[in-house]
């Protein structure tokens, strides 16, 4: 590091802290500037220095940033406190930890009501830690900065950190701070921390924390956590909590437990959720087997949804061909339509072999949805039923497709 | 559009396009518009039910199928990333090749390794979410038209909210050796600070400064790239199916 820059920075720090205490820094400043600069010129200079300082930070030119922000702070304008923060930030990046701490102290002294104080506290915790000094959480007022201190303590002395985290999680802290505490907890290998997450997942805290704990268990995965999630599911009172557990089981890749919920859950909505999650997991054969043994229409529709999510054209085609319930058949046909042009041969076969007008209309809808003008034109050419032909032409007319327009003109010219 | 009244100067000059429009108009003139059904009596209340939870920022009602499709896309990516990751890991360990052999049972791993992986995954998942939220703020601000300044109260508050997490995640990522994540969080921090300390009513100059900064650092792109990496990494082991 260039010595003069550190010296300059320290001088600013010393100047600000000393003169601020003495209450005479404005007059001192007035003495250094002979008053030749107007207020707007000074504001502009401050703004330029600040902006140039930020550019230097972006370019990681730390010594330049120190110089520019020090100059900016000297102006004692509306951005002086921010300039001091960034000076400390750049000094820390340069490795000048002691000077960075001095600068933070200067900022606190000169601007005790500054909005940068919390950020300065956070920076201070980091700088001190880098110097090997442990920051006691009790020394810090701001909860978020306290959390940083606890985070450090968790790495060095988890037994002491744990009760502090527990206090935050079970106390009146804000949701944001609790979420941070939960994250810190999740990063600990301490069995007590794992047990507390389990307790929170079971509802030992607020519903928000329960949701977060359940999510973390799912993300972490592993058989132990999966088993824990199952326990949470079985003991949960609210549907929301159970839904979160299902999602977490999906995230953890636990197909077996989701399949069990899909088969046995009494709550219909949860059951359908579990079925759709099987779709998300691509459990095609499980879904197909469930469909074969299921009789309730809403469940069968949920299974078709899940098959659609899993991209299972084969099984949906099978349902579209052979399902006896015409409503469900039409649903399967619509799904095939949404699944893209690869399903066109199947839809055209259905159209050709089917006598029901409703089913044929569903096929037309499906082809329309996939923007398959060619297939609709082919159907129209062969169709003798006026109502169906009209249906096809209506669809072609709104497709904005050149081939469709040419075909319609052809028909019009025939008239 | 021209058929429905929108004016295009090109049509005044181009005979060919005018003729084409005439052909299209001829067809459209003769098309019978599909009947628009009248909404049923409780249509409005149903629409309101669907929208109201969004306005309150709460989760309510049945999720749309698109949500499941989005979840499927994420899951599929994660699943294959998991297979790939495991495959590579197994190759290194000189284990039998093939997908069936790739899934290393969690129980077969030392507990400490497994726990460490679990913590890593949580870190990467929360960081991915953090990048997502940060990106939304940055995209919002970089798309502002700075000419007259703007009210950025919402972005400012969100940036303030993200700062503490940013520090926490950066320190954790540094400790965990996740260098690309830690570096990006480190680059993001000054920008979040700048936004968080901007006035609610930012001047044109202030907005330009933020935009210039975000663009010069290519932050939005970096966030997207690293987030994609992080997502792939974070969903390795847990995606091993247990059936």
If you measure CA to CA, which chain B residue comes closest to A275? B68
Whole-prediction pTM value? 0.71
Is the confidence at residue B220, as pLDDT, over 80? yes
Backbone angle region of B241, left / alpha / beta, with phi > 0 → left and psi within -120 to 50 → alpha: beta
Least confident of A87-101, A111-125, A142-156: A142-156
Residue B123: list chain A partners with CB under 8 A.
187
Q: What is the pLDDT of residue B17?
A: 73
Q: What is the pLDDT of residue B28?
A: 57
Alpha carbon of B24: minimum distance to chain A alpha carbons (Å):
7
Which of A295, A296, A285, A341 is closest to A318 using CA atoms?
A: A285
Q: What is the pLDDT of residue B94?
A: 33
Q: Alpha carbon of A32 to those of A17, A25, A109, A211: distances in Å?
A: 17, 11, 22, 59
**Average pLDDT estimate for A145-163:** 88
Token pair 């691509």 is at which residue?
A282
Token pair 């107007």 is at which residue?
A38
State ipTM.
Answer: 0.73
Q: What is the spatial distance between Cα A183 and Cα B237, in angstroms, rounded to a whole number?
A: 20
Distance of CA B234 to the CA centre of its chain: 16
Q: What is the pLDDT of residue A7?
A: 55
Residue A163 in tokens: 């009760």
Higher-pLDDT residue of A326, B20: A326
pLDDT digits (tens, 9 = 90+) for B80-109: 444 333 344 333 333 322 222 223 344 444
Under DSSP, is residue A272 helix (H, G, I), strand (E, B) or coil?
A: helix
Flag whether residue A414 sits within 8 Å of chain B, measured between CB atoms: no
Count the Cβ atoms, other than its own, within 10 Å of residue A357: 12
Is the confidence at residue A99, as pLDDT, over 60? yes
Q: What is the pLDDT of residue A394?
A: 92
pLDDT digits (tens, 9 = 90+) for A193-249: 989 999 999 999 889 999 999 999 999 999 999 999 999 999 998 999 999 999 999
**Average pLDDT estimate for A137-143:** 84
Which of B70, B181, B193 is closest to B127 using CA atoms?
A: B181
Which of B36, B61, B193 is the best residue to mutate to test the A interface, defined by the most A CB atoms within 10 Å of its own CB?
B193
Q: What is the spatial distance between Cα B79 and Cα B81, in angstroms, rounded to a whole number?
A: 5
Q: What is the pLDDT of residue A327?
A: 92
The DSSP letter of residue A4 is H
Q: Alpha carbon of A136 to those of A123, A140, B5: distances in Å?
A: 15, 7, 72
Under DSSP, is residue A325 helix (H, G, I), strand (E, B) or coil?
A: coil
Which DSSP string corresponds to A275-310?
HHHHHHTT-HHHHHHHHHH---HHHHHHHHHHHHHT
**Average pLDDT estimate for A265-291:** 95
Token pair 């999740």 is at which residue?
A186
Q: What is the pLDDT of residue B59?
A: 41
If you measure CA to CA, which chain B residue comes closest to A143? B164
Token pair 């034109």 is at which residue?
A377
Residue A225 in tokens: 């956590």
Q: What is the spatial distance between Cα B151 and Cα B165, in angstroms, rounded to a whole number?
A: 24
Q: What is the spatial distance between Cα A380 and Cα A390, in angstroms, rounded to a whole number?
A: 9
Which of B127, B115, B107 is closest to B183 using CA atoms?
A: B127
Q: What is the pLDDT of residue A154?
A: 86
Residue B160 main-chain phi, psi, to 5 deg: -60, -40
**Average pLDDT estimate for B110-139:** 86
Is the confidence at residue A17, as pLDDT, over 60? no
User: Confidence class of residue A37 from pLDDT cuts 50, 70 and 90?
Assistant: confident
Is the confidence at residue A320, as pLDDT, over 80? yes
Of A58, A220, A253, the CB nearest to B216: A58
Long-range contacts of A158-161 (CB under 8 A, 24+ apart): A158/A188, A158/A190, A158/A192, A158/A193, A159/A190, A159/A192, A161/A188
Burial of A22 per CB tally in 10 Å (0-12, 13-18, 19+): exposed
Residue B242: list chain A partners with CB under 8 A.
223, 226, 253-257
Residue B223 in tokens: 């966030």
Q: Alpha carbon of A228 to those of A94, A240, B121, B153: distances in Å?
A: 47, 17, 18, 42
Write the CB contacts of B78 (distance below 8 Å, at least 6 apart in sequence). B231, B232, B234, B235, B239
Residue A269: list chain B partners with CB under 8 A.
62
pLDDT digits (tens, 9 = 90+) for B16-46: 777 766 666 665 555 555 554 555 554 444 4
């Amino acid at each position: 590091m260039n010595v003069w820059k550190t010296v300059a920075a320290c001088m600013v720090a010393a100047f600000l802290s000393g003169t601020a205490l003495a209450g005479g820094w404005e007059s001192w400043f007035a003495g250094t500037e002979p008053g030749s600069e107007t207020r707007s010129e000074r504001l502009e200079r401050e703004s330029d220095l600040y902006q140039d300082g930020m550019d230097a930070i972006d370019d990681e030119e730390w010594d330049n940033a120190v110089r520019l922000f020090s100059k900016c702070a000297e102006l004692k304008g509306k951005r002086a406190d921010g300039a001091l923060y960034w000076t400390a930030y750049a000094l820390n990046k340069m490795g000048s930890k002691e000077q960075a701490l001095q600068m933070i102290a200067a900022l606190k002294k000169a601007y005790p009501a500054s909005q940068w104080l919390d950020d300065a506290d956070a920076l201070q915790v980091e700088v001190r830690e880098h110097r090997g000094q442990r920051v006691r959480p009790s020394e810090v007022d701001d909860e978020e900065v306290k959390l940083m201190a606890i985070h450090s303590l968790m790495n060095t002395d988890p037994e002491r950190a744990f009760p502090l985290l527990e206090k935050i999680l079970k106390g009146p802290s804000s949701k944001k701070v609790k979420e941070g505490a939960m994250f810190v907890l999740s990063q600990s290998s301490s069995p007590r921390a794992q047990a507390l997450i389990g307790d929170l997942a079971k509802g030992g805290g607020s519903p928000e924390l329960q949701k977060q704990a359940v999510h973390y268990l799912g993300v972490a995965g592993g058989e132990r956590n999966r088993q824990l999630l199952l326990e949470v599911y079985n003991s949960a009172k609210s549907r929301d909590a159970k839904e979160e557990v299902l999602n977490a089981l999906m995230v953890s890749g636990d197909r077996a437990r989701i399949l069990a919920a899909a088969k046995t859950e009494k709550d219909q909505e949860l059951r359908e959720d579990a079925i759709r999650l099987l779709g998300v997991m691509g459990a095609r054969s499980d879904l197909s087997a469930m469909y074969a043994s299921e009789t309730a229409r809403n469940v069968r529709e949920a299974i078709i949804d899940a098959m659609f999510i899993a991209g299972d054209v084969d099984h949906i085609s099978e349902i579209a061909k052979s399902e006896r319930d015409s409503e469900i058949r039409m649903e399967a046909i619509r799904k095939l339509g949404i699944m893209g042009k690869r399903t066109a041969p199947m839809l055209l076969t259905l159209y050709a072999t089917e006598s029901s007008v409703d089913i044929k209309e569903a096929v037309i809808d499906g082809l329309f949805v996939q923007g398959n003008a060619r297939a609709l034109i082919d159907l129209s050419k062969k169709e003798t039923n006026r109502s169906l032909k009209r249906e096809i032409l209506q669809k072609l007319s709104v497709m904005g497709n050149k081939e469709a327009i040419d075909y319609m003109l052809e028909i019009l010219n025939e008239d | 559009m021209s058929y429905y009244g929108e004016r295009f100067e090109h049509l005044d000059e181009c005979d060919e396009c005018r003729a084409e429009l005439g052909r299209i108009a001829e067809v459209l003139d003769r098309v019978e518009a599909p009947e628009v059904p009248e909404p049923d009596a409780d249509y409005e209340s149903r629409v309101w039910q669907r929208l109201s939870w969004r306005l309150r920022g709460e989760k309510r009602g049945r999720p749309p199928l698109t949500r499941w499709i989005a979840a499927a896309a994420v899951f599929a990516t994660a699943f294959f990333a998991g297979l790939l990751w495991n495959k590579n890991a197994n190759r290194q360990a000189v284990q039998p090749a093939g997908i069936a052999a790739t899934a290393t049972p969690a129980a077969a791993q030392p507990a400490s390794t497994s726990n460490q992986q679990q913590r890593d995954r949580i870190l990467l998942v929360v960081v991915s979410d953090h990048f997502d939220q940060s990106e939304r703020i940055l995209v919002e601000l970089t798309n502002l038209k700075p000419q007259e300044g703007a009210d950025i109260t919402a972005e400012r508050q969100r940036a303030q909210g993200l700062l503490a997490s940013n520090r926490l995640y950066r320190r954790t990522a540094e400790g965990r050796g996740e260098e690309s994540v830690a570096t990006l969080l480190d680059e993001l921090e000054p920008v979040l600070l700048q936004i968080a300390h901007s006035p609610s009513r930012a001047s044109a100059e202030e907005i330009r400064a933020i935009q210039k900064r975000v663009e010069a650092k290519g932050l939005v792109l970096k966030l997207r790239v690293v987030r994609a990496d992080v997502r792939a990494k974070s969903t390795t082991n847990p995606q091993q199916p247990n059936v």
